[in-house]
Amino acid sequence: MNTNDPGWQESVYQLFKQHNIRQVIYVPDAGHAPLIDRCLEDPQIKAGPLTNEFEGPGMCAGAWLGGERSVLLMQSSGVGNIINALGLVRHCTIPFLTLVTMRGEWGEFNPWQLHMGQSTTTTLEASGVVCNRADSAEDVAPVVESSINLAFHSYAQVAVIISQRVMGTKVFE
C-alpha cells in the first residue's frame, strides 16, 4: 500500500482517548491497521474484530446501553452489510459512529471494489447516516472530532468517509 501520511491514525487514536471512546470494533483493514494496533495495545480500550460489518451497529448499541462510547472501523466494501442493522441505532436514537476507509475511487486497481466504492456515501445517506468526508490526511482529525461531537451530543448516526487518497492506492505487481 502506498501511504501518503500514516500520522492521521495517531491523531484519531488521540481523539478517541480525549473523547472517551472505550470500545473500538472493526473488520480488519489495511487502511485502519495502525489505528487498530494502537487501540489493541491500550488497556483502557476494548478493541476487537467482527465476523462481518453487520454486527457493528449492534455492538455499538450495546456499548452505548452499557454506558460506553464506541466506534466501528470498516472499509467501504462492507457498507452494504450494515444497512439493515442501521435500523437499530436509527430508530432507537442511539449514537453511532463509523470510520470508513474508501476503496473503489482514487487509482483503484480492483474492479470488484468500484460498485460499493462509488455508492458508499449515497447508500449511507439514504439510510439516514450523516456522512462527513476527509479528502486529505490533514482533514481526518478535524472531521473525526466534529463527527464524534455530532454523534454523541446529538444522538446521531455519523460516518467519517476517509478518501482513498488519504491512504494511497494498493499496488500489486
Q: Is the dihedral of CA 6, 10, 13, 15 positive or negative?
A: negative
One pLDDT digit (tens) per residue for the chain, 173 residues: 444 456 899 999 999 999 999 999 999 988 899 999 999 999 999 999 999 999 999 999 999 999 999 999 999 989 999 999 999 999 999 999 999 998 767 776 776 776 677 788 999 999 999 999 999 999 999 999 999 999 999 999 999 999 888 877 666 55
**Burial of 173 from C-beta contacts in 10 A (0-12 / 13-18 / 19+):** exposed
Q: What is the pLDDT of residue 172?
A: 58
Distance CA 109, CA 92 (A): 39
Domain 7-167 of CATH type 3.40.47.10: no
Q: Is this model's pTM higher than 0.75 or not?
A: yes
CA angle 170, 52, 10 (to 5 degrees): 55
What are the Cα distances from residue 56, in Å, to 10, 87, 130, 136? 22, 12, 17, 26
Q: What is the pLDDT of residue 114?
A: 61
Distance CA 171, CA 173 (A): 6
**Burial of 112 from C-beta contacts in 10 A (0-12 / 13-18 / 19+):** exposed
